[in-house]
Structure 1
Amino acid sequence: MSLDIWPPVPAAELKVKEAETQMLIDLKARELRWITNETVQVCRDLKHGLEDCYALLAPIDPGSTLAVSTPRNERVKGTITRVGTRIVKASIALRLATMPPTTLTLSPSAAIHIHALDALHTHLNQSLDLLSVLLSHDTPPDPGSLAQTLTLLSESLSASAELLKCSNPGTHASPSWQLHSCPPDQFSPPLPPNLSVYLGLQDSCVVLCIRALEPVHAPVHLGTRLGLAIGTVRRLEHDEMDTVFSWDPSGCEDADSKRDSARHNPIWTPHHRSSNLEEVYVREKVPVDSPDPSLISLYSKLGFLSHMLAQARRNLAAVMGTDLEEKV
């Protein structure tokens, strides 16, 4: 079977067209090689930048000492020390309206893991592993394979930035404190009954949220009832009042060995000491934000690296002639 061209093309002109087509194919191949080499160089710069980010989260003593204090009053006042993804020291004085004054001191043998930082540590490790594999080859990678790797890297960087901007543990929309509160025996002396201490992350700040709890079926003193009825006793208003929560008073285990497994498991599941949940009201809630300079710098660096990566992906997609889907 033969294919004829109509109208007929002279043999000399046909050879010219074939040469032009071959030249375009060669030009496209050169463009792909060039953009692939340029993108690999960008990946080297990205790897150096991610190593700087990793250093900001590395467990290096003496760590970052952060002030914990409520503005315009001293209901909560003290300091905490973060080393890597853990709080290793804490001394916090509480002057709450619903309980006697007390001081929370973290036991020297205990450490509180901030779960968002553990997941962030995992994402940084995964990103560095991706780049190390990509840059370990002597020959430039295939453009399609390179594009897929950059997509995975972009998703990992986006997830890392989201962890630093994650929802505030002091809000009603975040029920993590019900199961992830600190175990009472992590402090010396142990925490008083019906006191929840929870640490989270919000806007590159370490957020400490103190909750004074009350069992749902606890008897209410007659004087308190009368005071509430006539208005001489004021209830402390907050966004969790009058809501029944199921709370685990034993908290969850934060073993130091979790750091080793976090490298391969970004979604960490806490180990609960018991399944005896109690129904409680939140009588008083005090969230305190502690800005962390290292985490602020880390978030800024991640933003710059994400912008650099997005530009490299757009350039590669343009030369490959493919559509690039980016999350807004």
Structure 2
Amino acid sequence: MSVEIWPPIAPDAFKAAVEASQARECEWLVQELQDTLTNLKHGLEDCYALLAPIDPGSTLVVSTPRNETVKGHVTRVGTRIVKGTIYLRMRTLPTQTLHINPDHPIHLASLTSLHTLLTHSIDLLTLTLSYSYPSTPPPSTTNPSTSSPQFIATQLRLLAQSLAESSSLLKGPPLTTADPAWTTRSVAGSHFTPPLWPPHQHHANGGVPPLSFHLGIQDSCLVLWLRSLEPADAPVNFGTKLALAIGTTRRLEHDESERIFGFCCEDSGVSGGEHNHGGGGGGSRVGAAPARHTSFPGPSASGGGVGPGKKEVEVFVREKVRVETADPSLLSLSSKLTALGTTLGVARRNLAAAMGEELED
């Protein structure tokens, strides 16, 4: 069975008619996209509001389930942790209470990047709407390229990349993978009152802070990693060697045990060994398998990296504690971004089909 047009149309005329029909369809779809883009802009503004620094912020419980290792709370205002009190009862450190200094809040790198991306996305949509759909376009100065399907498709592709990166920041690293950002993005002691590491304690530990305090985002939740640190070249006394040999003492086992890491705080230099990405200089501990030399050069997905004037020191992680806290605002933000991404994907596919092109990622 075949379909023919009557009266017959010459091939050249038929091709011209197809192109004209496609052009009308693109023009109609471009006009229809105005409402879609306006709704996307309103949705992004709602997302921006969820991350805006509005007092009193969100107070989040930070506690380990079923034990008393970590108990406390923090307050997030926008992209910062502005205050909080956390009680620690770790096995390898003295019992202590941490108080976040309100005058020196902790900035969350992932949320800061997310804030920048949301601002960029809103600005991108605002420009697209103002150029492609002017309210009173002057006939003599109208630029056809700013209202063409190609221009809008390019803008939507940039917007899709921004939304995908925003969702990735909220997703964070996989739950089964340790975030390597702690080696360079751990919170400095000056963010606490009193300072987390007194000078005498800092020097007594071979120039290594006894505690790494690192905050990050995973699955739209605020995650706190606490690591008890010791210098990789710290001598092991005879009593410990004997206890390990006969089995009366056991080291705490975790996924980062018996590995050497290069460590420095986020915003303060740490005096110690030379910067060494190879992890050399350390050795295996008594009664344990040889240590694997591990370091994470360069910035990670969460930002960071060893800045100028900073030196890494090689450390072992004696004890590791992870505390996950659900943040309702971030969970809502993630859901909204997913829905906006789906709507944007449908609009991009429709526009690409009308233009007769393949959809570009």
TM-score scaled by structure 1? Answer: 0.85
Partners of 2:309 and 2:95 in 1: how far apart? 28
1:164 paired residue number = 170
Between the aligned partners of 1:323 and 1:312, the Cα distance in structure 2 is 13
Residue 69 (structure 2) aligns with: 75
CA deviation after TM superposition for structure 1 residue 90, in Å: 1.5
Structure-2 separation of matches of 1:268 and 1:220: 35
Aligned to 2:86, the other structure's residue is in SS state strand
Deviates more, 1:85-94 or 1:188-197: 188-197
Q: Does the 8 A contact of 1:199 with 1:209 survive in 2? A: yes
Give SS of 1:70's match: coil
Residue 9 of structure 1 aligns with which residue?
A: none
Instruction: Provide the C-alpha distance between the structure 2 equivalents of 1:233 and 1:275, rounded to a whole number of angstroms.
Output: 36
Structure-1 residue corresponding to 2:293: none
Q: Which amino acid aligns with 1:162?
A: S
Q: Do structure 1's residue 208 and structure 2's residue 202 form an aligned pair?
A: no
> Aligned partners of 2:17 and 2:258: how far apart in 1?
75
Alignment-mate amino acid for residue 311 of structure 2: N
Where does residue 355 of structure 2 map in the other structure? 320
Tell me, which stretches of 5 or more residues in structure 2 are unaligned?
Answer: 1-6, 138-145, 198-208, 269-300
Contact persistence 1:68–1:80 (CA under 8 A) = yes
* Letter paired with 1:180: R
Counterpart for residue 325 of structure 2 = 290
**Mean CA deviation greater in 163-172 or 222-231:** 163-172
Partner of 2:107: 113
Query: Which secondary structure state, in structure 1, belongs to the residue aligned with residue 62 of structure 2?
Result: strand
Paired residue type of 2:237: H
- Percent identical among aligned pairs is 50
The letter for the 1-side match of 2:234 is: A
Matched, 1:27 2:27: no
1:18–1:252 CA distance, 2 compared to 1 (3 A): same
The letter of the residue matching 1:145 is F
Q: How many residues align?
A: 300
**Does residue 177 of structure 1 match 2:182?**
yes
Which residue of the partner structure matches residue 150 of structure 2?
A: 144
AA paired with 2:181? S
State whether structure 2 residue 202 is matched by structure 1 residue 187. Answer: no
1:50 aligns with 2:44: yes
Counterpart contact for 1:91–1:106, Cα < 8 Å: yes
Deviation readout 1:285-313 (Å, 9 max, x if unpaired): 10111110000000000000000000000
Q: CA RMSD in A?
A: 2.3
Q: Deviations over 1:60-92 (max 9, x none)?
A: 000111100111101011001110011001210
More divergent stretch after superposition (267-276 vs 208-217): 267-276
TM superposition shift of 1:325: 3.4
Shift of 1:216: 1.2
Offset of residue 194 of structure 1: 1.7
